[in-house]
Amino acid sequence: MTTNRDHRLCGVPSWGERRGNSEIRPVPRTGGHKDLVEYDFPGIEVGVGVADYAEGPTGATVIHIPAGARLAIDARGGAIGMSNGFEYFAHAICLTGGSVYGLSAGAGVAEELHAQHGNRGSVDDLKLVSTAVIYDFSARDNAIIPDAALGRAAVRAAAHGAVPVGRVGAGSSASAGKIDHARTEFTGQGAAFGKAGKARVLVVTVVNPVGVIVGRDGSVIRGNYDAASGRRRPLASDCLEMLEQSQPARAARGNTTVTAVVTNVRLTDKELIHFGRQVHSSMNRAIQPFHTALDGDTLFALTTDEVELAPPPDRDNGLMNSIALGTFASELAWDAVLRAVR
């Protein structure tokens, strides 16, 4: 694999036999991250709960809600990688690299929570962990995977107050703009937090799409980079050329953006589902294209149900609270994507 660090180019992968965990014997590493997004959301632990294998690099990120939160899942695209999609409730969300093999990190998260609570086995004591993966093998020359040991380490390191961003955790080898491997650039993990009145929203996302990353001014800021010209351009331009010239369409397989958005606002089950859909749909402003047949985009929407917003005066307008919250969270989601590539 060739790599141009100056321009954050991933390089062209070389497929074949690679060294994995049994040969390299990676050691979990947590903490020491300098690029952080601070947040103030009591009861939510993430921050230094990011673990990564430097040998990959690859990793896992855990959003831990000890008291639990209600959950809705919005999964789209043709390559979804998820395990234990416990719709309705979760104690932790695990975002991880390693594609389907990285699902074992989520099992490690569940094992650690089980141990921390005295290995109790009653139904009421079960700790529910939902996991979503990204494919990150094309950006590195080994087959290291986030495993159960890494998941356990991430939970043990979890704390409140800050989310590491950039090439850390599940975003360690994330990339974007994969119309051509030679034009693919590294991305990473992003986060954003905001308060509006009593409402709190935290977004954590791992950005690994076939599409490019678009700034608020409409320019492409990561992915589909032409080293010769030093320019990036929308994938729409390449796709249009393919159609006009009847060329076979090309794009790299192995993409997915995984996201968790957590709020403290009480929402009905229906409102929570549509809140998640609204935020997930909004992310196509920052990622273009999004939800393609080569992506497996998954968003976990969670609420701790701690804050009750005043009901609107018009009973027929009863969903406006969740729509307003979704609009607020959607701007944070865009911020989180941009922070992943800063």
- Residues classed as catalytic: 256
Q: C-alpha angle with apex 43: 164 to 204, nearest 5 degrees?
A: 35
Query: Among 309, 292, 298, 305, which residue's Cα sits nearest to residue 276?
Result: 298
Q: Give me 211's structure tokens.
A: 């599409």
Q: Tell me the three-class secondary structure of 36-105, residue by residue.
A: EEECCCCCCEECCCEEEECCCCEEEEEEEEEEEEEEEEEEEECCCCEECCCCCCEEEEEEECCHHHHHHH
For the chain, the distance separating the N- and C-terminal CA atoms, rounded to the nearest angstrom, is: 24
User: What gap in Å lies between CA 281 and CA 43, rounded to an integer?
Assistant: 27
- By the 8 A CB rule, do 213 and 187 touch? yes
Q: Which of helix, strand or coil describes residue 24?
A: helix
Query: Tokens in use for 273?
Result: 């589902």
Say how far apart CA 7 and CA 71 lie, in whole Å.
38
HSE-up (13 A, CA, CB side) for residue 1: 19
> Distance between CA 168 and CA 172 in Å, rounded?
4
- Both tokens of residue 263? 């709020």
Token pair recorded at residue 196: 């509006």
CA distance 32 to 52: 11
Residue 203 tokens, joined: 């977004």
> What's the CA gap between 299 and 312, in Å, rounded?
28
- Strand-pair category, 258-265 with 199-207: antiparallel
